[in-house]
Amino acid sequence: MKKTKILAALAATMAVGATCAFAANPFADVPADSWAYQSVVTLANSGILQGVDGTHFQGNRNITRYEAAEITAKAMAHADRANAQQRAIINKLAHEFAGELNTLGVRVANLEDQVGTVKFSG
């Protein structure tokens, strides 16, 4: 799965504020003139993206379903800042990665009713 596909979905989901519009670039391999720069910075500053080693994003690298589930779990944890449309996207991602989220210890049952109260365990 391309990281850019997950990034695009989550950027649309979590880019709810411009609080990091002037934030420092967290990744050495994402130039300020990149089409993905603002979304990557927003998601990194929100704690949703960590990059590969904390310094590099490697946006052209394919990610595993497990990595996509980790990103989804982090988006779920920030769902309280999302609007209804953004929560619908988070729900869709959570449904897609339900098996992996369960492996991570994230409860997904009845997510449509509980998206703002997701809890991590373990």
Q: Identify the CA nearest to 72 among candidates 56, 52, 49.
A: 49
Distance in angstroms (rounded) separating the CA atoms of residues 49 and 92? 19
Q: What is the pLDDT of residue 66?
A: 86
What phi and psi values does residue 67 have, to the nearest 5 degrees? -65, -40
pTM for this entry: 0.64
Which residues fall within 8 angstroms of residue 51, CB to CB, at 6 or more apart? 26, 27, 44, 57, 58
| % of the chain exceeding 70 in pLDDT | 68
Convert the pLDDT of each residue in 22-67 to its tens digit.
567 889 999 999 999 998 998 888 888 888 887 899 989 998 888 8
Distance in angstroms (rounded) separating the CA atoms of residues 110 and 93? 14
